[in-house]
Amino acid sequence: MVKVSISLPNNTQITFESEESEVLREVVSLALRDLPRDLMQAPASVSPGAPTEKSTSVAASELPTGTSIPPVPPAEPIPAPETTIARETAQPSIGASNREGTATAPPEFLSERGATNFTAFCRDAKPLGDMRRVVVAAEGASRHFGVEGITADDLAWLFDLAEWRRPGNFTQTLRNAARSKFGWLERIPGRSGRYATTALGRSKTLPNS
């Protein structure tokens, strides 16, 4: 391997390598044919090759004039690998806080017939206001699903089944309807957070029942 390295005064370095010295001579002559004369005023330094290579020194005065060598364009930057961003979709919890989302039916409400009858019951009752709707839902659940009272978590699914807008907080709505001022619901003893309708609550929300 024959290697020729030419360093010009303007810090430009040109390196040629070839297995054949004759071919290398022709390539150097063609490449530097139009080299500007002001670049040949000082001899170019030739860097030594590797121990296994044959190095040849070339003086700028010995180079024929020829075509100028265009600058080598810089290498294009390698684009950074695309980064995949994992996005988590939080599933809203359903319960007394009444967050948006579709509630999951509790096991005691899986009866298809009961769901159909409950929906019709709520539609016929046409309750106005969140507390009346809670009372109707509790009574409808008792009649058509056979449950003993309802909880705030149950109401999320029952309201969706009846296609009612959910109140801001089911727990607070249950407590308000059970206050002595209204007395439409009552707590079931020994069943924390579970409420059932009272006779007064039924008369206020289901006058035709």
Residue 208 has a pLDDT of: 73
**Same-domain status, 177 and 120:** yes
Task: Determine the Cα angle at 56 with ends 51 and 57, to 5°.
Answer: 125
Q: How many structural domains compose the chain?
A: 2
**Same-domain status, 126 and 194:** yes
Residue 12, in any domain of the structure: yes
Residue 180, in any domain of the structure: yes
**22 pLDDT exceeds 80?**
no
Residue 132, in any domain of the structure: yes
> What is the span of the domain harbouring residue 24?
2-62
CA neighbor of 139 nearest in space, from 101, 110, 167, 177:
177
Residue 134 has a pLDDT of: 96
**Amino acid, single-letter form, for residue 122:** C
Which residues have C-beta within 8 Å of that of residue 42, sequence separation ≥ 6?
9, 60
Residue 159 has a pLDDT of: 96
Residue 84, in any domain of the structure: no
Residue 28, in any domain of the structure: yes
Question: 50 vs 3, 4, 80, 161, CA distance in Å?
Answer: 9, 11, 35, 84
Least confident segment among 35-49, 97-111, 153-167: 35-49
Residue 168, in any domain of the structure: yes
Residue 121, in any domain of the structure: yes
**190 pLDDT exceeds 80?**
yes
**45 pLDDT exceeds 70?**
no
